[in-house]
Structure 1
Amino acid sequence: MKRRYLMAAAALWACAPFALAAYPYPVRPIKIIAPQPPGGAVDMMARTAAEALQKTFGQAVVVENKAGAGGLIGVSAAAKSPADGYTLVIGSTGPFSVSASLLQRIPFDPVKDFVPIARLAQMPSYLVVNANVPVSTVTEFLALVRSKPGRFTYASTGNGLSQHTNMELLKSMANLSILPVTYRGSAPAISDLLGHQVDMMIELGPQVIPHIRAGKLKVLATTSATRTELLPKVPTLAESGVPGFEAYTWFALYAPAGTPQAIVSKVHEALTKEFDGPEIRTRLSAIGAEVALTSPTELAAFQAAETKKWAAVIRQAGIKPE
Structure 2
Amino acid sequence: MSPIKTRVILAAILGLAAGSDGASTQNYPSRSINVMVPTATGGLTDVLTRNITQRLAQAWSQSVIIENRGGAGHNIGAAAVAKAAPDGYTLMAVEAGTFVANPFLYAKLPYDPDNDFEPISGFASISMALLAHPSLPARNVRELIDLARKRPGEISYGTSGIGGVLHISILLLETLADVKLVPVHYRGAAPALNDLLGGHINVISMGPSIALPQVRAGQLNMLAVGSGKRLPQLPDVPTLDESGVPGYEASTWFGLFAPARTPRTIIAKIHSDVQRILSDPEFKNYLTPQLLEPMIGTSEEFAAFIKSDAQKWGDIIRKANLSLH
TM-score normalised over the length of structure 1: 0.90
Q: Name 2:98's counterpart in structure 1.
A: 95
Structure 1 residues 182, 52: CA separation in 2 closer, same or farther (over 3 Å shift)? farther
Separation of aligned partners in 1, 2:22 and 2:216: 49
Does structure 1 conserve the Cα–Cα contact (< 8 Å) formed by 2:171 and 2:316? no
Matches within 5 A, 1:263-282: 263-282=266-285
Correspondence for 2:198 among 195, 215, 228: 195
Cα shift readout 1:113-152 (whole Å, capped 9, x = no counterpart): 1011112222211001234333322222222222222223
Cα shift readout 1:275-316 (whole Å, capped 9, x = no counterpart): 12112222212211211222222222222222222233334x
Gaps of 5+ in 1: none
Q: Name 2:213's counterpart in structure 1.
A: 210
Separation of aligned partners in 2, 1:62 and 1:196: 41
Q: Is 1:118–2:93 an aligned residue pair?
A: no
Amino acid at match of 1:232: P
Q: Name 1:150's counterpart in structure 2.
A: 153
Runs in 1 of length 4+ with deviation above 4 angstroms? none
Separation of aligned partners in 2, 1:52 and 1:15: 33
Cα shift at 1:5: 5.0
Q: Name 2:8's counterpart in structure 1.
A: 7
Q: Name 2:20's counterpart in structure 1.
A: 19
Does structure 2 conserve the Cα–Cα contact (< 8 Å) formed by 1:33 and 1:90? yes
Structure 1 residues 285, 264: CA separation in 2 closer, same or farther (over 3 Å shift)? same
TM-score normalised over the length of structure 2: 0.89
Cα shift at 1:25: 2.6
What secondary structure, in the 3-state scheme, does the structure 2 residue paired with 1:314 have? helix
Q: Name 2:135's counterpart in structure 1.
A: 132
Gaps of 5+ in 2: none
Separation of aligned partners in 1, 2:83 and 2:15: 32
% same residue: 36
Q: Name 1:233's counterpart in structure 2.
A: 236
Structure 1 residues 72, 209: CA separation in 2 closer, same or farther (over 3 Å shift)? farther
RMSD: 2.3
Correspondence for 1:73 among 76, 88, 99: 76
Q: Name 1:178's counterpart in structure 2.
A: 181
Cα shift at 1:217: 1.9
Correspondence for 2:107 among 83, 104, 107: 104
Amino acid at match of 2:9: A
Cα shift at 1:227: 0.8
Q: Name 2:315's counterpart in structure 1.
A: 312
- For these two proteins, the number of residue pairs brought into alignment is 321
Does structure 2 conserve the Cα–Cα contact (< 8 Å) formed by 1:128 and 1:217? yes
Amino acid at match of 2:135: N
Greater Cα offset, 159-168 or 175-184? 175-184
Separation of aligned partners in 2, 1:34 and 1:299: 19
Cα shift at 1:319: 4.1
